[in-house]
Each structure stands twice: as C-alpha cells, then as structure tokens.
Amino acid sequence: MPNISFAEQVNHNFDRAASLTNHDPSLLAQLRVCNFVCRFAFPIERDNGKIEVIRAWRAQHSNHKLPTKGGIRFSNDVNEDEVIALASLMSYKCAIVNVPFGGAKGGVKIDRRQYSDAELERITRRFAFELSRKNFIGPGIDVPAPDFGTGAREMSWIADTYQALNNEELNALACVTGKPVALGGIRGRTEATGLGVFYGIREAVNVAEDMKQLGLPLGMEGKSVVIQGFGNVGYHCAKFFTAAGAKVIAIAEWDGSIHNPAGLNIAEVDEHRKETGSIVGSPDSKQLDPSCDALELPCDILVPAALENVITDENVDRIQASIIAEAANGPVTAAASEKLFQRGVMIVPDAFLNAGGVTVSYFEWLKNLSHVRFGRMEKRYEENAFRRVLKLVEGATGTVITEEQLRVAAHGAEEQELVHSGLEETMSTAYHEIRALRLKLGAPKIDLRTASFVDAINKIASCYGDMGIFP
C-alpha cells in the first residue's frame, strides 16, 4: 500500500467495511465525507509583547446526530488532514458505543511546552471566541472536549468564554465537556478513556475461544503490558491494568522509556514524574537503552496511548505483542494493521477501545442539560429501601445484621460509581456487539476493526434511513 495520509487510511478502513454492506453507494458517500472544516488563523500576544499567528482547525465530519462531538488537541503535528481523520473516527466511535452524537475534532498547531500558562489561556480563549463567532460551538451544535495536550483547565477556559458570550443561554455549560467538577464537570471523566480501555480489553481477554487462538491464558491476571505514552490515558490504563493483576513491564515517553520485567509500580512512577517532570529514574525501574524501542518488546498486550501512526510499515515486523490495544486514535497504519492481522495479532481498534472518553462526556453533557448531579434524587431513597429489605431479612431469618454490614450493603450509588458503571456497561455491550458482528461477517477472515466500521456504518445509515433521506 503506498504511503497514504491519516484521513485516507480512515477512508480505506471505511471502504473495506462498506464493501461488506448493501447500502446505497450515494448513502455511503455521504457517510464517508467530512461535512464541514473551518480553518482559523488568529493573533495572540506572547508574554514578551510580540504578536504570533496561531493556526487552528475544527472539522465536523457527520451531522446525522447533533451536537457533533470531539476533542481539541494542542500539538505541533496538527494539520487539516489529521483533524478530518480524527473527526471521522469520532463519528464512527460514537455510533459503535451508541452515544448519540455526530463526529468532530479540533486542533491548534502549537507545542504547548513552548508557551506559558497565561499564553495558553489567551490561545484557548481566543480559539473559543472564534469557534463561537463561526457558530462552531454550542450545546446543540458542536461540543469540544479534551484531547492530546489539553485537559480540564483548557475546557474551563472554553466554557467560561462561551458563557461570557452567551450569558442568557441556560445550558451554556453544556458547550464543552471534560470540565473541572466545580465548573459543571462530572466525577469520573478524567479517568474515563483509560478505564474504558481497561474495560474493553478485559472483555477481550475473557473470551476463552479468542485467547486460545492467541495462545494466551484467560483473563487479565499476570498478562504483561507495555504502554507507550504516560499522559492521562496511558497513566490510567497502567493504573487499572495493574489493579486487575496485569504487569506493566515497560512505559515509553518522549524523553525516555523505563522497564521492569517484574512489573512497574505505577503510583511510584506517577509520583516521580510529578516531582521531576520525567518517568526516567523512577524507583524500581531501569531506563531502556535508547537504541531499543519499547513498542518492540515482547509482551501480551501493547497499548499505544499517545498519537497516530506509531506502528507503521517500518517497524511492524519487529512488533512482538499478541494483542494491540489502540488507546490512541490511529496508532497503527492501515498497511501495518493488515500485516499484523495476517500474523494473527489481535488489534482491538481505537474506534471502539478509546470511546470511554466520549461516553463519559455524554454523561457530563446530560448532567449539564438536566442541571442535577447523577444520584442526587435517588441515593438516599435507595439506601432507605435497601435498609428496609435487609431489616425484613433480619426479622425473617433471625440473623443479626450489624450497622456496619447495613452501611456497606445498603449503600446508594454516588455520581462516580454511576459513571463507572454506565461506562462498564457501554464498553462491555459494544465489545460483544462488534465481536458478534465479526463472527457473522465471516471471522477469521474479518478483523475487529472492519467489524467495528461495519457496525458504525449500519447504525449511521439507519439514521438516514429513518429520516427517509436514503432508501
């Protein structure tokens, strides 16, 4: 396959899946195309008084459901093709996990490490202002979220700018998700993508037939894991995989990689990184020789959790993992993906696996529209109902239930527990949907990525069908 761009790779995956469906070609053309792209160039003042022109994009790939949804990334590698590719992936991702949004993505072409906090604030607020001016943001229009290089702080600047411009809009806070909890965010959003990756892989490694085919034991316990990228997603993957009994044997970061065949202590790595700014030198870890790429280490599960195109034609033959968990968007090129599939490597695709972020964004958006915290109405009521039932059991059986036992058993759900449980249900249901579709389409010849694209195409096509636009 010739060297093709990121958006062309997504379209290549789309076309392969589309050829397995019976949809009208004109409908497929509509599902594939990116509906709108807005290109921005705006000035900001640097701290030294100089003016700099910042380039940014926002793409809305599919408006079959509104609002459109997707993160905003800050990276020097941002370009129009990348933003379109990521917006397309968002449309398919939302469909796969049954989140009722169209797909969008934004990008600001900066290396965030070169800017002070005050400069980053000026860039973010100005971008939010420009998006608002072009009607490219709003609770029912297009709702950004964090992505590579952005987080809750940037989202709070966007929400505040949008609110200032739309001060009569009751639902203004729903214009962006991934906000700090005090500013309309939801408990559980920060860890959502990493936790979603964990839930998705947990489902995959618990299917006996699939593990037998890979020659791996069932379950998460003892599996060796290599993680590339220790940002928000990579860190939370490492944390949840370890808590479930897997061993994170190596972590790669831009300034160096660390390893420990017995398993790294994730809390210590995180602590060390907070103190020194780097994972290198963490207690109980060795730095990996710079000539050796962590991606190429033998392991059960390889988790690329940073940017796209890290497993390519160039290094694919040296990849030794049995399972690739695409926590990032587009980490494996289309050509490399085909080679790995031929070799029997299981790729759990991005459009399903990293959907935890947007799933919990959906919960946050619902919370903002309803103006009430999840669990507020029912928590106490549930606790009292559980207590009444337990007291009945006590009376009927003569077993004494202590106050401590009552407290544990009759516990009503908090917001974060509801969010985690909604996320678990979403990821688990979606995994079994795409796995079943793969079998129906003719596994082993069909990979999970193709099955997930067919799933997305069918779901989005049915929206147009229901609107009577296409047959």
Q: Which residues are catalytically annotated? A: 105
- Distance from C-alpha of 109 to C-alpha of 92, rounded to nearest angstrom: 25
Query: Is 236 in contact with 225 (CB distance < 8 Å)?
Result: no
The CB-of-141 to ligand GLU minimum distance in angstroms stands at: 14
- Listed ranges 26-34, 235-243, 355-363, 432-440: which one lies at the site for ligand GLU (CB under 6 A): 355-363
Q: Residue 28 or 87: which CB sits closer to ligand GLU?
A: 87
The residues in 6-45 that bind ligand GLU, with binding defined as CB under 6 A, are: none
Q: Residue 145 or 434: which CB sits closer to ligand GLU?
A: 145
Q: Which residue has the CB atom at the shortest distance from ligand GLU?
A: 71
- Listed ranges 28-36, 234-242, 312-320, 352-360: which one lies at the site for ligand GLU (CB under 6 A): 352-360
The residues in 205-244 that bind ligand GLU, with binding defined as CB under 6 A, are: none
Q: Residue 11 or 150: which CB sits closer to ligand GLU?
A: 150
- Distance from C-alpha of 336 to C-alpha of 313, rounded to nearest angstrom: 5
The CB-of-39 to ligand GLU minimum distance in angstroms stands at: 20
Query: Is 89 in contact with 10 (CB distance < 8 Å)?
Result: yes
- Listed ranges 220-228, 245-253, 357-365, 431-439: which one lies at the site for ligand GLU (CB under 6 A): 357-365
98 torsion bin: left (phi>0), alpha (psi -120 to 50), beta (else)? left
Q: Residue 13 or 361: which CB sits closer to ligand GLU?
A: 361
Residue 436, token pair as written in the block: 């079943």
- Distance from C-alpha of 153 to C-alpha of 173, rounded to nearest angstrom: 14
Asked if 75 is part of the footprint of ligand GLU (rule: CB under 6 A), the reply reads no
Residue 126, token pair as written in the block: 């100005």
- Distance from C-alpha of 350 to C-alpha of 359, rounded to nearest angstrom: 14
Q: Residue 260 or 329: which CB sits closer to ligand GLU?
A: 329
Among 9, 11, 13, 177, binds ligand GLU (CB under 6 A): 177
- Distance from C-alpha of 285 to C-alpha of 253, rounded to nearest angstrom: 14
Number of residues that bind ligand GLU (CB under 6 A): 11
Among 361, 368, 450, 452, binds ligand GLU (CB under 6 A): 361
Q: Residue 180 or 263: which CB sits closer to ligand GLU?
A: 180
User: Crossing angle, helix 6-18 and helix 80-96, to 10 degrees?
Assistant: 40
Which residues, including other chains, have CB under 8 Å from residue 272's CB and lie 6 or more apart? 278, 279, 281, 282, 283
Residue 411, token pair as written in the block: 């516990």
Asked if 357 is part of the footprint of ligand GLU (rule: CB under 6 A), the reply reads yes
φ/ψ of 140, rounded to 5, equals -110, 10
Q: Residue 103 or 375: which CB sits closer to ligand GLU?
A: 103
Q: Residue 232 or 285: which CB sits closer to ligand GLU?
A: 232
Distance of CA 185 to the CA centre of its chain: 17
Please report where in the chains the tokens 């792209």 appear, as a residue. 37
The residues in 130-159 that bind ligand GLU, with binding defined as CB under 6 A, are: 145, 147
Among 31, 358, 437, 460, binds ligand GLU (CB under 6 A): 358
Asked if 426 is part of the footprint of ligand GLU (rule: CB under 6 A), the reply reads no
The residues in 51-70 that bind ligand GLU, with binding defined as CB under 6 A, are: 69-70
- Listed ranges 76-84, 218-226, 333-341, 356-364: which one lies at the site for ligand GLU (CB under 6 A): 356-364
The CB-of-69 to ligand GLU minimum distance in angstroms stands at: 4
The CB-of-380 to ligand GLU minimum distance in angstroms stands at: 31
Among 71, 107, 304, 349, binds ligand GLU (CB under 6 A): 71
Among 30, 329, 426, 452, binds ligand GLU (CB under 6 A): 329
Among 13, 156, 285, 354, binds ligand GLU (CB under 6 A): 354
Q: Residue 155 or 336: which CB sits closer to ligand GLU?
A: 155
- Distance from C-alpha of 323 to C-alpha of 345, rounded to nearest angstrom: 6
Interface residues toward ligand GLU, by CB under 6 A:
69-71, 145, 147, 177, 329, 354, 357-358, 361
